[in-house]
Amino acid sequence: MKRKLIYLVALLCGALAIYEVYAVVIAYQKLPHQFAPYASVSPKDIGLSKKRQDILVTIQDPTFFEHSGIEWPSPITTTTITQSLVKKLFFKKFTKGFKKIEQTLIARFVVNPNISKEIQLTAFMSTVYLGEKDGIQLFGFEQGARSWFNKSLSELDDDEYLSLLAMLPGPNMFKPNTVASRERVRRIKQVLNGECIYEHVSQIFLEQCSER
- Give the Cα-Cα-Cα angle 195, 196, 199 (nearest 5 degrees): 140
Residue 99 CA to residue 89 CA, distance in Å, equals 13
First to last CA, the chain: 60
What are the tens digits of pLDDT across the range 154-192?
A: 999 999 999 999 999 999 999 999 999 999 999 999 999
Please check the confidence at residue 29 and state whether its pLDDT lies above 90. Answer: no
Residue 199 CA to residue 18 CA, distance in Å, equals 35
Name the β-bridge partners of 132: 137
What are the tens digits of pLDDT across the range 121-149?
A: 999 999 999 999 999 999 999 999 999 99
- Residues in CB range of 86: below 8 A, 6 or more apart: 27, 103, 106, 107, 110, 111
Predicted TM-score of the model (pTM): 0.86
Under 8 Å between Cβ of 123 and 42: no
- Find the range with the poorest average confidence among 9-23, 96-110, 120-134: 9-23
Give the Cβ contact number of residue 62 at 10 Å: 19
Which amino acid, 195?
E
- Residues in CB range of 2: below 8 A, 6 or more apart: none
What crossing angle do the helices spanning 98-106 and 81-90 adopt, rounded to 10°? Answer: 110
Under 8 Å between Cβ of 110 and 28: yes
What are the tens digits of pLDDT across the range 190-209?
A: 999 999 888 888 889 999 88
Residue 187 CA to residue 139 CA, distance in Å, equals 24
The pLDDT confidence band at residue 7, using thresholds 50, 70 and 90, is very low
Domains of the chain, first to last: 16-50+68-116 (no CATH), 128-212 (1.10.3810.10)
